[in-house]
């Protein structure tokens, strides 16, 4: 037995399109974890990896993360950085025990190939994926610039256009030169061996394919030989996803709708009383609604219900959100809701905060449509508002 050599990569799953420079921090923390874990080699993905072909700047920054760890932080110095760490060792032990139990569970009545063919592994992976999506939707997990603290004035990174025709022509010329400079008889013989081994001796394939490529065979020729030699085993692939893809799609939908129609979902904040009375909840719902890049109309507060309702109606907003304190809500929230619904029934009225059972009953009776709090599902709420606005 010998120590395993580990070559790892930072995650594409956690990279985001919006606020992409935060990807630098994600790459740094992931790289640090890998180094502490004892890896031998590492690929740090540039911060624009999921957005465009990475440029020289993003690639240089990615390389510099490793250089800093090696030469500025001296992480090459300790042989086992995590060795003896009380909080890491129990986690490692727990992880290995649970992983081993999973392997034993899989091998009790079947094997990994059969589980993949049956879709069992894919289903388990999807369960974890959905739990990650669920935590992000409720903002239990936070992705800066996406489901939390969105930048409303952000301009997306420029994606350069690729001249596909010129690229195809360039590659065609290169392949023709490669074929002209090789021994076709040797290549044909090696491809035939690959075809034979694909159906019988799978262990030889890597060596044969490596030799064939060194002799001038193309990837397409090797793939064709493998396809001819063996039908192989067919399984449903595990689909690639990213953590924030649903939030990004939602925000792009708003941006597209606004660009095409000049309209948006308008949110009016019925801030009641002086600034200290409504500030915390007004800021919370503003950030909540701006996740989908909705237009939020703020103000410094209204001394009376009548003034707040008048301003809400004049704003022509789609939604009015009442913002104040728990102590003042029983007096203010039902009154604002009732007056708005009497004059403009189609306008939605929300309350900032989680009401008590008694307050909810009173507000519901007045016509309150929804309640926005830390327990709200941010994604579902915003998607519903997009649908009601006719964005899809």
Angle, CA 378 vertex, CA 375 and CA 382 arms, to 5°: 140
Residue 208 has a CB neighbour count (10 Å cut-off) of 21
Residue among 391, 160, 134 at smallest CA distance from 259: 391
3-state secondary structure of 322: strand
Residue 363 has a CB neighbour count (10 Å cut-off) of 24
Lowest mean pLDDT among 144-158, 193-207, 317-331: 193-207
Confidence of residue 147 (pLDDT cuts 50, 70, 90): very high
Residue 94 has a CB neighbour count (10 Å cut-off) of 10
Confidence of residue 263 (pLDDT cuts 50, 70, 90): very high
Mean pLDDT of the chain, nearest integer: 94
Tell me what pLDDT residue 105 has: 87
Sign of CA dihedral 340, 313, 279, 148: positive
d(CA 208, CA 253): 49
Tell me what pLDDT residue 1 has: 64
User: For residue 48, is it left (φ>0), alpha (ψ between -120 and 50) or beta?
Assistant: alpha
Backbone angles phi, psi at 348, to 5 degrees: -80, 145
Confidence of residue 363 (pLDDT cuts 50, 70, 90): very high
Report percent pLDDT > 90 for the chain.
82
What does the pLDDT look like over 113-124, one tens digit per residue? 899 999 999 999
Both structure tokens of 58? 């993003």
d(CA 47, CA 65): 11
Tell me what pLDDT residue 206 has: 87
Mean pLDDT of 45-52: 97
d(CA 385, CA 390): 9
Tell me what pLDDT residue 309 has: 98
Distances 196 to 85, 209, 231, 311, 370 between C-alpha atoms, Å:
52, 12, 12, 79, 66
Sign of CA dihedral 192, 198, 199, 201: positive
Tell me what pLDDT residue 201 has: 56
Q: Note whether 181 and 76 are within 8 A (CB).
A: no
CB contact burial 257-286 (16+ within 10 A = b; e otherwise): bbeeeeebbbbbbbbbbeeebbeebbebbb
d(CA 193, CA 237): 28
The pLDDT of residue 230 is above 80: no
What does the pLDDT look like over 371-387, one tens digit per residue? 999 999 999 999 999 99
What does the pLDDT look like over 326-357, one tens digit per residue? 999 999 999 999 999 999 999 999 999 999 99
Both structure tokens of 25? 């921090």
CB contact burial 140-149 (16+ within 10 A = b; e otherwise): eeebbbbbbe
Residue whose pair of structure tokens reads 């994604």 in the numeric block: 379
Tell me what pLDDT residue 157 has: 95
3-state secondary structure of 356: coil
The pLDDT of residue 231 is above 70: no
Tell me what pLDDT residue 145 has: 95
Mean pLDDT of 383-392: 97
What does the pLDDT look like over 179-188, one tens digit per residue? 999 999 999 9
d(CA 101, CA 108): 10
Helix pair angle (305-315, 329-343), 10° resolution: 40
**Cα diameter, the chain:** 91
d(CA 25, CA 380): 28
Residue among 343, 292, 334, 342 at smallest CA distance from 314: 343
| Rounded (10°) CA dihedral 269, 275, 276, 278 | -10
Residue 331 has a CB neighbour count (10 Å cut-off) of 11
Mean pLDDT of 136-163: 95
The pLDDT of residue 199 is above 70: no
Both structure tokens of 32? 């640090």
The pLDDT of residue 229 is above 70: no
Tell me what pLDDT residue 205 has: 84
Tell me what pLDDT residue 24 has: 97
What does the pLDDT look like over 279-311, one tens digit per residue? 999 999 999 999 999 999 999 999 999 999 999
Mean pLDDT of 86-103: 92
Mean pLDDT of 7-31: 97
Residue among 369, 339, 370, 367 at smallest CA distance from 354: 370
Both structure tokens of 20? 């992409």
Both structure tokens of 108? 């009790």
Residue among 341, 290, 274, 271 at smallest CA distance from 313: 341
Greater pLDDT, 297 or 85: 297
Tell me what pLDDT residue 107 has: 84
Confidence of residue 204 (pLDDT cuts 50, 70, 90): confident
Calculate the CA 298 to chain-centre distance: 30
Would you give the end-to-end CA distance of the chain in angstroms? 58
């Amino acid at each position: 037995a010998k120590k395993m050599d580990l070559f790892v990569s930072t995650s594409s799953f956690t990279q985001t399109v919006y606020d992409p420079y935060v990807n630098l921090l994600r790459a740094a923390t992931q790289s640090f974890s890998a180094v502490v874990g004892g890896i031998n080699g590492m690929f740090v993905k540039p911060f624009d990896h999921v957005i465009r072909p990475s440029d020289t700047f993003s690639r240089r920054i990615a390389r510099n993360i490793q250089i800093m760890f090696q030469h500025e932080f001296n992480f090459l110095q300790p042989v086992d950085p995590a060795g003896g760490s009380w909080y890491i060792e129990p986690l490692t032990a727990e992880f290995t025990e649970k992983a081993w139990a999973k392997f034993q569970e899989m091998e009790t009545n079947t094997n990994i190939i059969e589980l993949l063919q049956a879709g069992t592994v894919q289903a388990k992976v999807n369960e974890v994926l959905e739990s990650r999506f669920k935590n992000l939707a409720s903002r239990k997990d936070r992705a800066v610039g996406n489901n939390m603290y969105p930048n409303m004035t952000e301009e997306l990174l420029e994606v350069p256009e690729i001249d596909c025709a010129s690229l195809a022509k360039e590659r065609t010329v290169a392949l023709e030169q490669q074929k002209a400079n090789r021994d076709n008889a040797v290549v044909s013989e090696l491809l035939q061996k690959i075809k034979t081994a694909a159906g019988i001796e799978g262990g030889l394939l890597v060596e044969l394919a490596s030799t064939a490529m060194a002799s001038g065979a193309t990837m397409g020729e090797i793939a064709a030989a493998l396809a001819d030699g063996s039908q192989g085993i067919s399984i449903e692939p595990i689909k690639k996803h990213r953590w924030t893809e649903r939030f990004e799609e939602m925000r792009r939908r708003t941006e597209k709708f606004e660009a095409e129609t000049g309209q948006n979902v308008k949110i009016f904040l019925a801030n009641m009383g002086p600034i200290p009375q409504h500030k915390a909840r007004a800021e919370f719902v503003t950030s909540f609604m701006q996740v989908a890049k909705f237009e939020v109309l703020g103000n410094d507060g209204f001394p009376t219900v009548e003034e707040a309702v008048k301003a809400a109606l004049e704003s022509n907003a789609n939604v009015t959100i009442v913002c104040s304190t728990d102590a003042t809500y029983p007096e203010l929230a039902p009154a604002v809701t009732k007056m708005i619904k009497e004059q403009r029934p189609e306008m939605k009225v929300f309350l900032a905060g989680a009401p008590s059972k008694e307050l909810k009953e009173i507000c519901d009776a007045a016509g309150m449509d929804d309640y926005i709090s830390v327990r709200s599902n941010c994604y579902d709420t915003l998607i519903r508002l997009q649908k009601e606005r006719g964005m899809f």
